[in-house]
Amino acid sequence: MNFNHREEHVDDGMLLIQANLDDMNPEWVSYIMDKLFDAGANDVFVVPIIMKKGRPGMMLNVLVPEERLSVMEDVIFGETTTLGIRYLHASCHRLAREFQQVQTKWGLLTIKVGYHQGKLVQFAPEFKECEQVAKAYSVPLKMVYEEARLQFMQQQKNASS
Amino acid sequence: MNFNHREEHVDDGMLLIQANLDDMNPEWVSYIMDKLFDAGANDVFVVPIIMKKGRPGMMLNVLVPEERLSVMEDVIFGETTTLGIRYLHASCHRLAREFQQVQTKWGLLTIKVGYHQGKLVQFAPEFKECEQVAKAYSVPLKMVYEEARLQFMQQQKNASS
Amino acid sequence: MNFNHREEHVDDGMLLIQANLDDMNPEWVSYIMDKLFDAGANDVFVVPIIMKKGRPGMMLNVLVPEERLSVMEDVIFGETTTLGIRYLHASCHRLAREFQQVQTKWGLLTIKVGYHQGKLVQFAPEFKECEQVAKAYSVPLKMVYEEARLQFMQQQKNASS
Amino acid sequence: MNFNHREEHVDDGMLLIQANLDDMNPEWVSYIMDKLFDAGANDVFVVPIIMKKGRPGMMLNVLVPEERLSVMEDVIFGETTTLGIRYLHASCHRLAREFQQVQTKWGLLTIKVGYHQGKLVQFAPEFKECEQVAKAYSVPLKMVYEEARLQFMQQQKNASS
Amino acid sequence: MNFNHREEHVDDGMLLIQANLDDMNPEWVSYIMDKLFDAGANDVFVVPIIMKKGRPGMMLNVLVPEERLSVMEDVIFGETTTLGIRYLHASCHRLAREFQQVQTKWGLLTIKVGYHQGKLVQFAPEFKECEQVAKAYSVPLKMVYEEARLQFMQQQKNASS
Amino acid sequence: MNFNHREEHVDDGMLLIQANLDDMNPEWVSYIMDKLFDAGANDVFVVPIIMKKGRPGMMLNVLVPEERLSVMEDVIFGETTTLGIRYLHASCHRLAREFQQVQTKWGLLTIKVGYHQGKLVQFAPEFKECEQVAKAYSVPLKMVYEEARLQFMQQQKNASS
């Protein structure tokens, strides 16, 4: 089983946008992160920092292709309290990815697989699906993960033998 | 009321200087941050990090125009314990800023306002002034902030109507 | 296979000792943590905090039985820079634990297993052993973990069938 | 407007449960936090810590009435990877709370109000409602907050005059 | 030279007050910390935490004698945005302290000394004084610290020989 | 005494590699950091961050010369769970370093010294040696540091007089 395969590649046209927030209601952070993802950010994360006068602040980080800079700025200036942002040029090296499915006692589950130079180096069950199964069947989330990983590993062994 | 207006602009000649400190007395940090601001840093902040052998360390970050690099290095090498620093090239996008004043029951207070593409997107009371009022009148700092914001918003509504 | 079994139990005679460090060389932290473990601490961890005047500090936490308080204090006062410590009374609920072994392509590996009310709720390969295998056979540490978990899960399934 | 008023009170029968997690997939954290809230936790939060051998860990904290201890333990032992938890006795002082409504250009919004010794000391718009308005009307979340606060403050002034 | 000596002692009547803040302007934190110290707190510190819905929050911690609880609550409820606080009973073990003076090229500097069971275990130059010297003589703060420590150690050696 | 002297210099061909980890067992971190150092990293550190859906994550940072990028990627992709990394171009300014030795009551100890524009600005005892002495002679680590620093400062004074 194999959908939306992507080749391993390096993208040199990326920007890491950073905004230091020392006077914003932290309650808004996850809302703003979601909004940045919706607007096309590749990644968004927050770093706890200590700012001028010992203020506990948050550094918002947004990873995005250069052409999306202004879209991100509109969200950041519109939704946060910052008076300025900075950006650094970055290159992203992304593994080839594919999604495989494994049969479990709760039905099919998707495994995201990563390849580096053609070699399988990563595999992880899809969080959303495992979460749904854990809720639907009232089993611990970690048990769903374990089972999905177990099935995937066995599938690999059978395939290679 | 409108003093020191500045146009919205992008400055491509900035550096983000970083120094990892794993053997320095944390007591010195705010002194050093102030010293860097006095020497012309645009921003200074500290990121808690985990270094080699699991040491809790601090990453000092200094944002500064390229031409001030050596001045900053003199402070960093002179005041911290680091044996090296690194710097990354950054671009800063700064909003147009102006300072407006609002009338409150405790007198005039300054509001820092930010404009993105001509549109008012930020406004915040000046911390120092609010702090002084809170102390002088023995009122909660947050009440001073709320009142200043309230007056500014009403001023805006009246202006726009 | 089953060695050093311990019953699930609650210990009400524990102390959580805390010391705030704002003027100590962070380089010493892991040495001090090891020393506290050697002196009989059940657990030791550090919390990054922000102290007076915005100083980035470290809160050292030590979990110990009440009777070991003075031994821990000797280490803390002797090795850190603090002028005082505080302690809070705590109760510890510990699962029943046992160590099982699983056969892997690299030989036997130990799995630490935890039981809550007689039910297996936790299992984890022993870090030190996995680390040794990863180094000895030049395989990724995560692969050793995965294999150990896989073998344990299959052993469980066979046992239960 | 005034629903579900509660008196200011102190509850001496609370527990602060803590579990240090150094070998758990961080991806599971928010799922587990939600599960603890659903099971009746008063508050749940995570503290980033540094554990033995310099491992970046997470300390899970759960604030709960003593009688709910075992329910919380079932979730913690079932869903996390910890082999033990500790708990400390705590007293909670909670303000009197009420919910008031304010009229805004986007309709009614709820403000949560807190009273200390009969005096209004806190007021905050309900996040969920503001988030819905921000999405429904495509306005910045912070603008919705500002407007709701503005209306509440004016309502207060009118009431007191 | 020896002023205000205090005996080593344990104080069992202390409280550790904690308030989780997820919707407060971080800009206010140091102001509030100072206010708590002015109101008689023995120690105040902030712990960066992750709260419900993944919000970056701050846990305010205040260490204080039981009899000052209500004074601290007035500040916390008055100045922060919290609707409740919790407190845990703690015991504080404080070393005997004295202040000694040392002669340096910049004049007399004070060293705070700590004794555990009659034995000198801590000594640290007073920050404020070192800061003043560093500014007055335009020398690195760390050099002032080193010199003060050097003089104190030599004074100790001479005294013991 | 003077071994492996190195000139102060700036290296413009450095990379800061970053990988955000939100689904990896934190227990593996120090193992991976050591492996990156063994593979030739100039520096490796971890930054606690908050990722999508409020997940507590870790940002792995690796500082290396450009020519070592692929070696680092092999370790990162092989040992962590990430599906991609990013890198930013950095310049490193490193002080001239030399190692001097000082005579202490426990034998010779090495001091690492740093020079900026020919001026001695840093000196620090070697951690490993101080740790060995502290263990061998059962003295506090901080006392070993103090003594080593004292001897070095006196050696400097004698040399300059």
pLDDT tens-digit readout, F51-102: 998 899 999 999 999 999 999 999 999 999 999 999 999 999 999 999 999 9
D14 and D85 housed in the same domain: yes
- Note the pLDDT tens digit of each residue in F104-118: 999 999 999 999 999
Confidence band for D3, pLDDT divided at 50, 70 and 90: very low
> Could you tell me the sign of the dihedral formed by the alpha carbons of F15, F16, F22, F25, in that order?
positive
Of A67, A94, A121, the one marking the end of a domain is: A94
Q: What percent of chain D is modeled with pLDDT above 70? A: 97
Q: What percent of chain A is modeled with pLDDT above 90? A: 92
F71 and F111 housed in the same domain: no
Does E3 reside within a domain? no
Does A1 reside within a domain? no
E23 and E78 housed in the same domain: yes
Q: Which residue in F has a C-alpha nearest to residue B54's C-alpha?
A: F30
Least Cα separation, residue D117 to chain C (angstroms) = 29
CB atoms F30 and B53 under 8 Å: yes
- Exposure b/e, D9-21, CB count within 10 A at least 16 = b: eeeeebbbbbbbb
E79 and E126 housed in the same domain: no
Q: Which residues pair with E111 in a beta bridge?
A: E100, E125
- Note the pLDDT tens digit of each residue in D88-123: 999 999 999 999 999 999 999 999 999 999 999 999
DSSP assignment letter at C22:
S
CB atoms B51 and F45 under 8 Å: yes
- Can you give the pLDDT at residue E38? 97
A104 and A151 housed in the same domain: yes
Least Cα separation, residue D17 to chain E (angstroms) = 12
CB atoms E55 and F56 under 8 Å: no
Domain of residue A118: give its range. Answer: 96-160
- Tell me the residue type at F146: E
Does A85 reside within a domain? yes
CB atoms A83 and B97 under 8 Å: yes
Helix axes C141-160, C127-137, angle to 10 degrees: 120
Res D1 pLDDT > 70: no
Q: Which residue in D has a C-alpha nearest to residue C128's C-alpha?
A: D53
Res D133 pLDDT > 50: yes
Does C3 reside within a domain? no
C101 and C126 housed in the same domain: yes
- Can you give the pLDDT at residue F161? 74
Least Cα separation, residue D161 to chain A (angstroms) = 30
Confidence band for C5, pLDDT divided at 50, 70 and 90: low
CB atoms F79 and C31 under 8 Å: no
Of E37, E59, E94, the one marking the end of a domain is: E94
Q: Report the pLDDT averaged over residues D71-80.
A: 98
Read off the tokens for F80: 């962590």
Residues of chain A contacting residue B44, judged by C-beta atoms under 8 Å apart: 51-52
- Can you give the pLDDT at residue D4? 47
Does B3 reside within a domain? no
Res C1 pLDDT > 50: no
CB atoms F141 and C81 under 8 Å: no
How high is the mean pLDDT of chain C? 94
Res C129 pLDDT > 80: yes
Burial class (CB in 10 A: 0-12, 13-18, 19+), E10: middle
D102 and D41 housed in the same domain: no
∠ at Cα F64 (F58, F70), nearest 5°?
85
Least Cα separation, residue A31 to chain B (angstroms) = 18
Query: Can you give the pTM of this predicted structure?
Result: 0.95
B52 and B104 housed in the same domain: no
Does D4 reside within a domain? no
Q: Which of C50, C140, C153 sits opposite A146 (nearest CB)?
A: C153
Residue B117's H or E segment, with its range, is none
Residues of chain A contacting residue D134, judged by C-beta atoms under 8 Å apart: 31
F119 and F56 housed in the same domain: no
- Exposure b/e, F23-33, CB count within 10 A at least 16 = b: bbbbbbbbbbb
- Can you give the pLDDT at residue A157? 87
Alpha helices in chain D (DSSP H): 29-38, 69-79, 127-137, 141-160
Burial class (CB in 10 A: 0-12, 13-18, 19+), E105: exposed
Residue D77 belongs to domain with CATH number: 3.30.70.1380
Distance in angstroms (rounded) separating the CA atoms of residues F157 and F135: 30
Best mutation target among F20, F66, F86, F87 (most A Cβ atoms within 10 Å) is F86
Q: Which residue in A has a C-alpha nearest to residue E49's C-alpha?
A: A48
User: With a cut of 70, which residues of chain B have pLDDT below it?
Assistant: 1-5
CB atoms C45 and D48 under 8 Å: no
- Can you give the pLDDT at residue C161? 74
CB atoms F146 and E146 under 8 Å: no
* Furthest-apart CA atoms within chain F: distance in Å: 63
Q: Which residue in C has a C-alpha nearest to residue E62's C-alpha?
A: C51
User: With a cut of 50, which residues of chain E have pLDDT below it?
Assistant: 1-4
Q: Report the pLDDT averaged over residues A69-95.
A: 98
A40 and A116 housed in the same domain: no
Q: Which residue in E has a C-alpha nearest to residue A57's C-alpha?
A: E26
Q: Which of F48, F80, F142 sits opposite C79 (nearest CB)?
A: F142
Of C43, C65, C94, the one marking the end of a domain is: C94
- Can you give the pLDDT at residue F1? 38
3-state per-residue secondary structure call for B45-78: EEEEEEEHHHEEEEEEEEEEEHHHHHHHHHHHHH
- Note the pLDDT tens digit of each residue in C73-101: 999 999 999 999 999 999 999 999 999 99
Does A90 reside within a domain? yes
What is the number of domains present in chain F?
2
F73 and F150 housed in the same domain: no
Whether the ipTM is more than 0.90: the answer is: yes
**Under 8 Å between Cβ of B50 and B56:** yes
Residue F114 belongs to domain with CATH number: 3.10.20.300
Q: Report the pLDDT averaged over residues D57-80.
A: 98
CB atoms C27 and B23 under 8 Å: yes
**β A96-104/F96-104 pair status:** unpaired
CB atoms F95 and B84 under 8 Å: yes
Distance in angstroms (rounded) separating the CA atoms of residues F131 and F123: 17
Confidence band for D160, pLDDT divided at 50, 70 and 90: confident
C86 and C105 housed in the same domain: no
Res F3 pLDDT > 90: no
Contacts of F152 (CB under 8 A, 6+ apart): F100, F102, F111, F123, F125
Does F46 reside within a domain? yes
